[in-house]
Amino acid sequence: MKNSPFASHHVPNVLCVDEEQIDRDINYRFHFLAQFFDFTEDDIKIIHENLDFVKTITPKVITGAQTKILAFDATRKLMLGRLAGYEGDMFTDPDDITLDSPNVMERHKIFCSVFDNLFASNWDEAYLNGPFAIGLSYKWGNKYIDVPVFANTAAFMCGQFLYTDYTMKSDLPLEVKIKLSSALSKALGIIVELTTTALLNDIDLPEVPEEPKKEIPSGTNGNDIEYLY
């Protein structure tokens, strides 16, 4: 994880931040957050060393966060909208959504996959597409729905607290629990900030390998297909 994109300020021990770039360049913002939160190679290492455990609690964390999301009308909006690659009806009446609704179950599966990939990654540029895509899913996947930024922040902070709670209640050695809880807390802090950034700003997309183009079925206008990210 390269982590020093900032120039030195004329004041000792102070780094220069390009305040325009930080609001549009997701990679630049990530490196700022990593330095601001002291998210280091040691944090990545402790997560990797306990990856099997983290993967076992992630589904519980996502379920816990979704349960909380469904408890408030403003946050329930996070469950609306269409998901990429999902052809079922994602526009369930918000008053009828439950943990068993396709909206919620599909998001549970996607979030588990995203978080598993994030925690297993080296937190380089490729990693950034995960939280960025989550933010975009709320911003553009719900173009007819006004999703409050505070709802996104609250949902992720709930997940952050749940990771800490499950970790501290585990059978891991105390020293490991303390280090892992700290690392996961920093990681979730970065993720929530990046998803919020995607909601609030026009961001320069990180470069990713180009995927093979999919053929559009005959008789379908490609412009009519609604993609999330």
CATH of the domain at 162: 1.10.490.10
For residue 207, pLDDT over 70 is answered with: no
Average pLDDT in the 56-62 region?
A: 96
Largest CA distance in the chain: 64
Give domain status of residue 7, yes or no: no
Give domain status of residue 50, yes or no: yes
For residue 227, pLDDT over 50 is answered with: no
**pLDDT grade for 208, boundaries at 50, 70 and 90:** very low
Residues 87 and 180: beta-carbon distance below 8 Å? no
At 220, list the tokens.
């379908």
**pLDDT grade for 7, boundaries at 50, 70 and 90:** low
Give domain status of residue 154, yes or no: yes
* Site of tokens 């998001």: 107
- Positive/negative CA dihedral, 133, 57, 107, 142: negative
**pLDDT grade for 109, boundaries at 50, 70 and 90:** confident
For residue 41, pLDDT over 70 is answered with: yes
The 10s digit of each residue's pLDDT in 63-77 is: 999 999 889 887 887
Give residue 202's domain range: 21-206
Looking at residue 184, its pLDDT comes to 96
**End-to-end Cα, the chain, rounded Å:** 25
For residue 211, pLDDT over 50 is answered with: no
Give domain status of residue 221, yes or no: no
Per the model's pLDDT, the better-predicted residue between 94 and 176 turns out to be 176
Give domain status of residue 226, yes or no: no
**How many independent structural domains does the chain possess?**
1
Per the model's pLDDT, the better-predicted residue between 208 and 160 turns out to be 160
At 52, list the tokens.
């099997």
Alpha carbon separation from 228 to 88, 100, 113, 157 (Å, rounded): 14, 22, 17, 24
Per the model's pLDDT, the better-predicted residue between 173 and 193 turns out to be 173
Per the model's pLDDT, the better-predicted residue between 61 and 79 turns out to be 61
Residues 155 and 25: beta-carbon distance below 8 Å? no
Looking at residue 216, its pLDDT comes to 38
At 153, list the tokens.
């922040």
**pLDDT grade for 11, boundaries at 50, 70 and 90:** confident
The 10s digit of each residue's pLDDT in 116-158 is: 888 988 887 656 665 655 655 555 444 545 667 788 788 889 9
Average pLDDT, the chain: 76
Give domain status of residue 1, yes or no: no
Per the model's pLDDT, the better-predicted residue between 161 and 83 turns out to be 161
The percent of residues in the chain predicted with pLDDT above 90, rounded, is: 28
The percent of residues in the chain predicted with pLDDT above 70, rounded, is: 65
